[in-house]
């Protein structure tokens, strides 16, 4: 269970509050207008952004006392945070051992993770020698290897084409099924959210709201979310944002 307890984050004149609980294994989309604080929320959980007040706990453990690298979570950004001078296999291995001096068993785990994402033949290549989708796979393999109970995705597949994005979301879903990890995923795309999440946290007007069922939220969005999704509450279905095609029943 992930708890944000009386959390306030202040960055310059920006302020975000969060008081919410997510059950173990929850799959949660983080939605909201640009600049609302979605990345900031993930950064605070991951430890890159300091809390002004409150606590973040995972299964009762206070994460606020742990350095980012020691937190029981993996985070993926759009740029995949791969090191350009290391091979794909070494980038994956970093998830296990920052020194890259692997034992035989650890090497086997790295190989298995690369195989799991279909990159067993490309482990020797550096990121620049891989396609965008392959780079995303390397980053996912590293997250897979770490087996942390919380996976934070900050629009990691936004730059990929629709087919690749669908494939990556399917892979994430499989990984979540295998690991039982909890997911928090920032996305601007309601269809991506539907593909993987069952709940949503709406971040708007200085607050990260308590999680709500995703389908109901997308079918009948509050005003702040409706304008961000490109349509108004009560609008005719054919006034909906192109590509945002869903039926209520």
| Residue 119 near residue 137 (C-beta atoms within 8 A) | yes
Which is nearer to ligand ATP, 94 or 229 (by Cβ)? 229
Instruction: Out of 17, 18, 26, 38, point to the residue binding ligand ATP (CB under 6 A).
Output: 38
| Residue 172 near residue 142 (C-beta atoms within 8 A) | no
Residues 8-27 that bind ligand ATP (CB under 6 A): 11-12, 14
Does the protein bind ligand ATP through residue 71 (CB under 6 A)?
A: no
Number of H helices, E strands in the chain: 8, 11
| Residue 74 near residue 148 (C-beta atoms within 8 A) | yes
**Residue 233 CA to chain centroid, in angstroms?**
27
The CA–CA distances, whole Å, from 208 to 29, 94, 205 equal 12, 32, 8
| Residue 32 near residue 225 (C-beta atoms within 8 A) | yes
Which is nearer to ligand ATP, 9 or 122 (by Cβ)? 9
Which is nearer to ligand ATP, 32 or 211 (by Cβ)? 32
H-helix or E-strand spanning residue 133: helix 132-146
Instruction: Out of 7, 27, 28, 32, point to the residue binding ligand ATP (CB under 6 A).
Output: 32
Q: How far is the CB of 174 from ligand ATP (least distance, A)?
A: 27
Does the protein bind ligand ATP through residue 36 (CB under 6 A)?
A: yes
Instruction: Out of 21, 23, 24, 35, point to the residue binding ligand ATP (CB under 6 A).
Output: 35
Range in contact with ligand ATP (rule: CB under 6 A) among 28-36, 85-93, 127-135, 136-144: 28-36
| Residue 52 near residue 10 (C-beta atoms within 8 A) | yes
Instruction: Out of 39, 80, 135, 187, point to the residue binding ligand ATP (CB under 6 A).
Output: 39
- Chain contacts with ligand ATP (rule: CB under 6 A): 11-12, 14, 32, 34-40
């Amino acid at each position: 269970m992930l708890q944000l307890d009386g959390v306030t984050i202040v960055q310059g004149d920006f302020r975000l509050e969060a008081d919410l609980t997510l059950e173990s294994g929850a799959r949660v989309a983080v939605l909201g207008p640009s600049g609302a604080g979605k990345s900031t929320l993930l950064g605070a959980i991951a430890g890159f952004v300091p809390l002004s007040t409150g606590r973040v706990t995972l299964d009762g453990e206070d994460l606020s006392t742990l350095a980012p690298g020691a937190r029981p979570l993996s985070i993926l950004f759009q740029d995949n945070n791969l090191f350009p001078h290391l091979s794909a296999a070494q980038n994956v291995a970093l998830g296990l051992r920052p020194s890259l001096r692997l034992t035989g068993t650890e090497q086997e785990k790295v190989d298995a993770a690369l195989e799991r994402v279909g990159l067993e033949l490309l482990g020797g290549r550096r990121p620049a020698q891989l396609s965008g989708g392959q780079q995303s796979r390397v980053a996912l393999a590293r997250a897979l290897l770490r087996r942390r109970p919380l996976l934070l995705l900050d629009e990691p597949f936004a730059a990929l084409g629709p087919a690749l994005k669908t494939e990556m979301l399917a892979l994430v879903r499989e990984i979540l099924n295998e690991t039982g990890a909890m997911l928090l995923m920032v996305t601007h795309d309601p269809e991506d959210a539907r593909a993987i999440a069952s709940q949503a946290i709406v971040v708007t007007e200085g607050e990260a709201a308590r999680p709500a069922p995703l389908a109901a939220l997308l079918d009948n969005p509050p005003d702040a979310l409706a304008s961000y999704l490109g349509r108004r509450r009560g609008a005719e279905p054919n006034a909906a944002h192109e590509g945002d095609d869903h039926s209520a029943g």
